[in-house]
Structure 1
Amino acid sequence: MNRSSGRIAALLVIGLVLAGCATTPRQLMPTPVLYREPNGQVLFDRLVAEQQRPEVDLLYITNRAAEENPENSLPYGQTRRKGMVFGSSVVRMVPGIDWKTLQAQSLLAERTREIALELGEVEELGAFPREPYKITMTRQGTRARDPAEMRAFDETKAAFQREIQRRLAISPKKEVMLYVHGFNETFATSAFTAAELCHFFGREQVCSFFTWPASSTGNFLISYTTTTESAEYAVDHLKKALRMIAATPGVERIQLLAHSRGTAVLLDALRELMIEAIAAGVNPADVYRIDNLVLLSPDIDVDIAGQKITGFVSDPDLTRAWPDNALPRLLNGRLTIYASPGDRALLVSRILFRSRNRVGQLRPEDISPEMQTYFGNLGRIDLITFTGERTDLFGHSYFTTNPKVSSDLVQLIRFGEAPGDPGRNLLRTGAATWEFRADDDSR
């Protein structure tokens, strides 16, 4: 078998396995190292009685169309909706488990009973008007949006923000955590990951997820290319959702996490929002209230990612009007990238796109000294490389399946620890690069 045939064979094998992963039952992720008994951190200590229950109630936003196949029990499928909807999605812990038992099991390195995830009630709470919005002619002969649709938009937006405020009222932290999934995910699997993260972040935030029509069945090669275009289609909707969340009274911070192909969706949405703010003459960090931006196993080309992250720096005309040639900020916290050279799932992208490298496979030595210095000067950008043992089939979901990585993520999002803080237990390898210490099993 020649090299080209070998790559195609590897691609097909990975594709066939991934195609089955989206419907495989999910066990609750392992307990992050920092919570493990007997000397672990307290997991739940600030929840009101209403939150002390096994299931996790998530806020969802989606541009998936309703599922039309009667044999599929999911509420939303793989095709695109001409607009957004939002609602409540409950993820249950099964088989039946009470709150105290779940608390105890969530602190164990080796659980004494099985805990699986199951999609519960999904309630759609609002739907924005169908796109594109209608255009009417005014008495003056100019074109304008249809007044009825504008009223519908305003009413739905208000309902969306009221739902966020309702959840904020019972949340210890007045912030929103939003998770954006990648390729080969269904509505259910994206909800599962958001619920796991929410659970081990202490259930202290308004927990939400944005789910877009990523293909999870059918011919893998066709599904992947379809997903790539659906990702582009999702950018505009995610941008609108983020803008509305940030404008909701009472929201103090937003924590953004994206996985795999979802990182490209999120970066594109943020790039557009940043340009909007700059054009309006306001600091993006003040408008959008984004604390941390976390890119998990990013399925995006290195050069493209670099352009999206730093493009505004190399576009002087965009920010020339800013005083003293100062650079605007998008984040109040940090940009954190988790990568693993052993991420076999990203081999698919490298083959299909003929990409030299994907961000999710970067090693510290892949970052030149010049770029290390550049990112160090830009500040608050961290590439964290994981080279440990694979804990999932393709080494692509280690942020939940590996207790060391999930522990580091919790330290960042829940406790606000910087990479050099003792709790993170990371080894600096450059001005902007880190790796996990070999001895981080013990604390």
Structure 2
Amino acid sequence: MTVSLPAEGRRKVGEVQWPKALPGNPETDFVTLKVEKLDQKAAVSRFNKAVQKVPKRRVMVFIHGFNNRFEDAVYRFAQIVHDSKAQVVPILFTWPSRGSVFAYGYDRESGNYSRRALENLFQALARDPAVGEVSVLAHSMGNWVTMEALREMSIRNGTISPKIANVMLAAPDVDVDVFRTQITDMEGRRPKFTLFVSQDDRALAASRRVWGSKARLGAIDPDAEPWRSQLEKAGITVLNLTSLRSGDRLNHGKFAESPEVVKLIGTRLIEGQPITDTRVGLGEKVMQVTAGTAHAVGSVAGLAISAPVALVDPHTRHNFADKTDAVGKSLREVGEHATSE
């Protein structure tokens, strides 16, 4: 899948510019230029060529959140890869969100249903000799799917593959007690975890009311106890984005919309550079830190991003059992991703 982004000067960093009419204008809009369904041989060949061209043969997997249509996830990931200037091969894992604010329960069950597929993808990347390092970026409800997949991987293998180096949890819609259990259940080696939180996240405030829980992980105050001590003990770095302004009225997407934060993802976190300062400056803002421890394929109106897709059919779950192995057992099988009907 190839996505075109507007040229420099026609879009602010962090923004996704949707077409006002179809077809979109590549000069001003995000536009899907090409969608290809590849057979196994072609998919593996393209992936292997791409991963050889990036430092340390890095791959970044993005897992979207609640109320995200497929096109939302594609364009947001293209924006993140471009704006972060991350030197990675991007892989989008998309799960069957209904794409409606009134379908929270459906999306939650869909996340549960998709966690094995994501684990299979992680296992495939860990086994592939062409892959040197994997970074994971999850948003919102996608963090639940991610944590469950990593937990299952660690239980199944006795550890999490050392290839999975960095896991970034952005605005996680996960109960804090559940997260503590997930971390505890991860046997052996764990990757470096970075947590993005914001106390003014309205989406997570709504989720907290729905669940009746005491706190959602993405909205905690990392300087308050018991969170501070628990996070430090677990070796988790926390970036507090509360002071940053957002174009999102729900303040739920700051990690991708803030120019400074999205660049930090690409220039420091994915490259494995530790953030050990207690305060990291972001322009005129200051981000509090609790420290515990794209591949470009062309240029059309700026940049085109090509991302392999591990796709669970958003319209039906009936074929999932047959297709989950296509997402996971090997990278060749990942190339046989499902397509929406």
Normalising to structure 2: TM-score of the pair? 0.73
Partners of 1:183 and 1:227 within 8 A in 2: yes
Paired AA for residue 62 in structure 2: Y
Q: Give the Cα separation in 1 of the matches to 2:14 and 2:209.
A: 37
Are residues 1:329 and 2:189 paired?
yes
Task: Return the offset for 1:373.
Answer: 4.0
Find the counterpart in structure 1 of residue 170 from structure 2: 296
Query: Are 2:133 and 2:164, in contact at CA under 8 Å, matched by a contact in 1?
Result: yes
| Counterpart for residue 50 of structure 2 | 167
C-alpha distance in 1, partners of 2:13/2:182? 40
Q: Which amino acid aligns with 1:386?
A: L
Deviation at 1:400, TM superposition (A): 1.6
Kindly report which structure 2 residues correspond to 1:255-294, keeping only aligned pairs within 5 A, or say none: 255-278=135-158, 283-286=159-162, 289-294=163-168
Q: Which residue type is aligned with residue 382 of structure 1?
A: T
Shift of 1:259: 0.2
Taking the aligned partners of 1:161 and 1:114, their CA distance within structure 2 comes to 32
Q: Which amino acid aligns with 1:304?
A: V
Shift of residue 187 of structure 1? 1.3
Q: Any unmatched runs of 5+ in structure 1? A: 1-88, 127-155, 313-318, 320-327, 434-443
Give matches, 1:32-51, under 5 Å: none
- CA distance in structure 1 between the partners assigned to 2:234 and 2:255 by the alignment: 26
Aligned to 2:4: 92
Contact 1:177 / 1:256 at 8 angstroms: preserved in 2? yes
SS in 1 for 2:38: strand
Distance between the aligned counterparts of 1:330 and 1:422, measured in 2?
23
In 2, are the aligned partners of 1:260 and 1:297 still within 8 Å (CA)? yes
Would you say the 8 A contact 1:411–1:424 is kept in 2? no
Q: CA deviation at 1:401?
A: 1.3
Q: Are residues 1:122 and 2:5 paired? A: no
Contact 1:417 1:424 in 2 (8 A): no
Output one character per residue of 1:367-409: Cα deviation in whole Å (capped at 9) or x when no partner: 42xx544543443x11221122333211001112122322332
Give the direction of change, closer, same or farther, for the CA distance of 1:107–1:352 in structure 2 (3 Å limit).
closer
Task: Return the alpha-carbon distance in structure 2 between the equivalents of residues 395 and 210 of structure 1.
Answer: 23
Give, in angstroms, the shift of residue 205 of structure 1: 1.2
RMSD value, Cα: 3.0
From 94, 107, 119, the equivalent of 1:211 is: 94
SS, match of residue 96 in structure 2: coil
Cα distance, 1:239–1:285 mapped onto 2, change above 3 Å = closer
Q: 2:69 aligns with which of 186, 197, 202?
A: 186
2:151 is aligned with 1:238:
no
Question: Counterpart of 1:383?
Answer: 238
CA distance in 2, matches of 1:307, 1:246: 24
Structure 1 position 232, deviation (Å): 0.7
Closer/same/farther in 2, CA of residues 114 and 290 from structure 1, 3 Å limit: same
Q: Give the equivalent residue in structure 2 for 1:132.
A: none
- Secondary structure at 2:256's aligned position in 1? helix
SS of the equivalent of 1:346 reads: helix
1:338 shift after superposition: 0.2
CA distance in 2: counterparts of 1:92 and 1:215, whole angstroms: 25
Q: Mark the CA change 1:107 to 1:391 in structure 2 (over 3 Å): closer, same or farther.
A: closer
* Secondary structure, counterpart of 2:177 in structure 1: helix
Q: Find the aligned partners of 1:125 and 1:352 in 2 and give their Cα distance.
A: 41
TM-score (norm 1): 0.57
Question: What's the CA shift for 1:340?
Answer: 0.3
2:183 corresponds, among 290, 309, 325, to 309
Question: How much does 1:330 deviate?
Answer: 2.5
Q: CA-to-partner distance for each residue in 1:67-92, whole Å, 9 max, x for gaps? A: xxxxxxxxxxxxxxxxxxxxxx1111
Q: Does 1:409 align with 2:265?
A: yes
Q: Number of aligned pairs? A: 278
Alignment of 1:9-88 (within 5 A): none
SS in 2 for 1:228: helix
Deviations 1:250-276 (A, max 9, x none): 211001000000000011001010111
Task: Specify the alignment match of 2:325 in structure 1.
Answer: none
Question: What letter matches 2:72 in structure 1?
Answer: T
Tell me the CA shift for residue 194 of structure 1.
1.3
Q: What is the aligned partner in structure 2 of residue 73 from structure 1?
A: none
Q: CA deviation at 1:160?
A: 5.0
What is the alpha-carbon distance in structure 2 between the residues aligned to residue 198 and residue 236 of structure 1? 25
**Distance in 2 separating the partners of 1:203 and 1:353:** 36
1:429 positional shift: 6.4
CA displacement 1:47-74 (0-9 Å, x = unmatched): xxxxxxxxxxxxxxxxxxxxxxxxxxxx
Q: Paired residue for 1:12?
A: none
Does the C-alpha gap of structure 1 residues 428 and 167 become closer, same or farther in structure 2, counting only changes over 3 Å? same
Unaligned runs of 5+ in 2: 16-25, 294-341
For 2:216, give the aligned amino acid.
R
Instruction: Please state if 1:396 is matched with 2:252.
Output: yes
Higher relative contact order (CA 8 A, sep 6+): 2
Q: Is the 8 A contact 1:161 1:244 kept in 2?
A: no
Q: Please tell me whether the aligned partners of residues 66 and 107 of structure 2 are also in contact (alpha carbons under 8 angstroms).
A: yes
